[in-house]
Amino acid sequence: MYMYSTHASVPYVSASGNSMLVSLEFPGEAIDQREVEDIAGHLRGNSIRLLSLRGCNMKDESFSEICRALEANRSLQHLNLNINVVHSTYRMKELASTLIVNRTVTHLMLHGTKLNIGQVKKLRKGLKRHPSIVSLDVGDCGLTDESIRYIARLLHKPKESGHATDGSREGLRESRAPLSLKELNLSANAEVTLLGWTQLAIGLARNTTLEQLYLDYNDLFPEGASVLAVAISVHPEIRFVDLEGCGIGDDGASCILAMLRKPGPPKLEKLVLTSNDISIEKVEMITALLLPPV
pLDDT in tens, 141-179: 999 999 999 999 999 875 544 444 333 333 433 444 567
List all residues 6 or more positions away from 83 whose beta carbon is below 8 Å from its beta carbon.
Answer: 28, 54, 55, 111, 112, 113
Run of H or E including 13: strand 12-16
Whole-number pLDDT of residue 263: 79
Q: Which tens digit of pLDDT belongs to each residue from 16-41?
A: 444 557 899 997 889 999 999 999 99
Q: For residue 56, give the 3-state DSSP assignment.
A: coil
Rounded to an integer, what distance in angstroms lies between the CA atom of residue 119 and that of residue 96?
Answer: 9
One-letter amino acid at 91 equals R
Alpha-helix runs per DSSP H in 143-220? 145-153, 169-176, 194-205
Predicted TM-score of the model (pTM): 0.88
